[in-house]
Structure 1
Amino acid sequence: MAARPRIKDVAEYAGVSPKTVSNVINNFEHVSERTRAAVQEAIDALGYRVNIAGRQLRQGRTGMITLAVPELDVAYFSELAKHVMAEAGRRGRTVLLHQTGAARDRELAALHGFDAQFTDGVILSPLSLLPRDLATRDRRLPVVLLGERSAKGSTDHVGIDNVLAAREATEHLLARGRRRIAVIGGALRGPQGTDRLRTEGYREALKAAGLPFDAGLVVPVEAFHWQDGLRAAGALMAREQRPDALLCLNDHLALGALRALHEHGCSVPGDLDVVGFDDIEASRFSVPSLTTVAPDKQEIARVAVSLLLERIDDPDAAAVRDHVAGHRIIVRESTGG
């Protein structure tokens, strides 16, 4: 088998120094177009490929980053992981995938790098971390947080505007004439997490529409799984005064709720409208198909990987970055689409 071409071979073919070849590969500015073209021609002719692993080892890096999420069987996180892995691969990195189970000790382990010698940085979606956990973390390990922050201004962060997204979803239901809108997965107290923020957006929409807030229509759940949505919607259907719409704070809850409504003989969207969150793939194939808030998962992944790699390259950069990714309401059959 022929030996793999080296930078020295490319330099000889192009008639330049190995340093010039390195400058072209690293896209340094001060290289003439003529020289750049000659080096690129040599690279193509010889089939030269950059030895990313060797470069990273020389820099004291592994070329691997960690993605830590609560549950891979919640489709939002598995779909997000797919985008993170694709983006990291495009940037020449390998992703180590960890499931924390939303347990604080596992999230703390992720925050401190699990086996830190194997990873250059961590993208973490926490549910149980406390503000002090972030304030006292080891700054030598680059970290980017996803979802809701536990401590403002302490760690790079990517998420959506959950208050605005829930407000827009509620406004969509109000525009369809719905007035008794229940929130499955909502929360009125506790940590300022996704459930609290989305409930806040719901309340803002009711207030703007001049409608009273009924705390009895906010239904907490034990977890954000199919069966929790089924149980919560079933309990709502057993009430004497039923809601006329359900705002479910993720698609798993919404799809479970659709099953409960079917079992209670309720027509969707005839008797009730249903809206979910996350735009998981299953939401397009339910009957009826599910109206949902779609976070831009691809943007979240792209920005999170980019912020992490920038932090790996420059650990001492002072400014903490906070990126708000886009979202949109996708109207499907469950609200008459």
Structure 2
Amino acid sequence: DADYVSPRQEMKIPLAACDAFSREAGFSSVTVQDRMGGRLAGEHLKSLGHSRVTCITTNMICDDFERIQGIRDAGLQTDLFMISGDRTIMREQFRKHDFSHVTAVFCVSDRQAMELLCILHERGIRVPEDLSVIGFDGIEAGIWAVPPLTTIAQDLEAKAETAIASLFEDPASHLIDVELTVRRSTGYAKTIL
């Protein structure tokens, strides 16, 4: 919140913060239902027989934390895999990580999930036959991933429209719905020996 307070005090125009829950007076915040999205991802994986999931994130604060809590709310065991925000380092981490003890991976963003899909292909790990992968955001590029990426989609247009509309209203926190978009990167859990 402190990151938003300073600019708000300096600016004399309305402010809306996206992907943030600010409880500070004076401006609105717009975010998606991150925890519900994580729960939708977890329930989908659970319906396919998955019980243990590796959750990939760069941090455990704000939306990433809420998305992972949602996976846990669905009753899945979770392992955290903290990765670097630097793409080169992240790809190397994906190359070295042992995924043999889980049947599914939840990435807190589609971009991470698509990088992972590329590295898994290089390693000869089949998706979804060996490992299911699900992302979060619903970016259009996920349609063309190989295989197409299952994701928790957010309505970016609704988020933008809400943020703009909130500039002309009393400051408030706004939540945007999310929905599960099932594609071919998730499948039934394999047996782990």
TM-score range, shorter chain: 0.7 to 0.9
1:188-207 → structure 2 map (5 Å cutoff): 188=60, 192-206=61-75
Pair 245,251 (structure 1): closer, same or farther in 2 beyond 3 Å? same
Name which of 115, 133, 137 aligns with 2:8: 137
Q: What TM-score do you get using the length of structure 2 for normalisation?
A: 0.85
Alignment partners' CA distance in 1, 2:37 and 2:20:
14
Alignment partners' CA distance in 1, 2:53 and 2:30:
29
Alignment partners' CA distance in 1, 2:107 and 2:3:
31
Match of 2:185 in 1: 334
1:246-325 → structure 2 map (5 Å cutoff): 246-308=105-167, 310-311=168-169, 319-325=170-176
Alignment partners' CA distance in 2, 1:198 and 1:231:
24
Unpaired segments ≥5 residues, structure 2 = 189-193
CA shift for structure 1 position 242 = 3.0
Moved over 3 A (4+): 225-233
Tell me: higher relative CO, structure 1 or 2? Use CA pairs within 8 A at least 6 residues apart: 2
Q: CA RMSD in A?
A: 2.4
CA shift for structure 1 position 298 = 1.0
Deviations 1:104-157 (A, max 9, x none): xxxxxxxxxxxxxxxxxxxxxxxxxx43752783263210010022x3152211
Match of 1:172 in 2: 44
What percentage of aligned pairs have identical amino acids? 28
Larger Rg: 1
Alignment partners' CA distance in 2, 1:295 and 1:228:
28
Alignment partners' CA distance in 1, 2:153 and 2:49:
22
Pair 196,137 (structure 1): closer, same or farther in 2 beyond 3 Å? same
Alignment partners' CA distance in 2, 1:228 and 1:332:
28
Pair 165,229 (structure 1): closer, same or farther in 2 beyond 3 Å? farther
| SS of match in other structure, 1:242 | coil
| SS of match in other structure, 1:332 | coil
Match of 1:18 in 2: none
Match of 1:233 in 2: 94
Match of 1:220 in 2: 82
Amino acid across the alignment from 2:132: D
Alignment partners' CA distance in 2, 1:132 and 1:245:
35
Q: Higher helix share goes to which structure?
A: 1
Q: What TM-score do you get using the length of structure 1 for normalisation?
A: 0.50
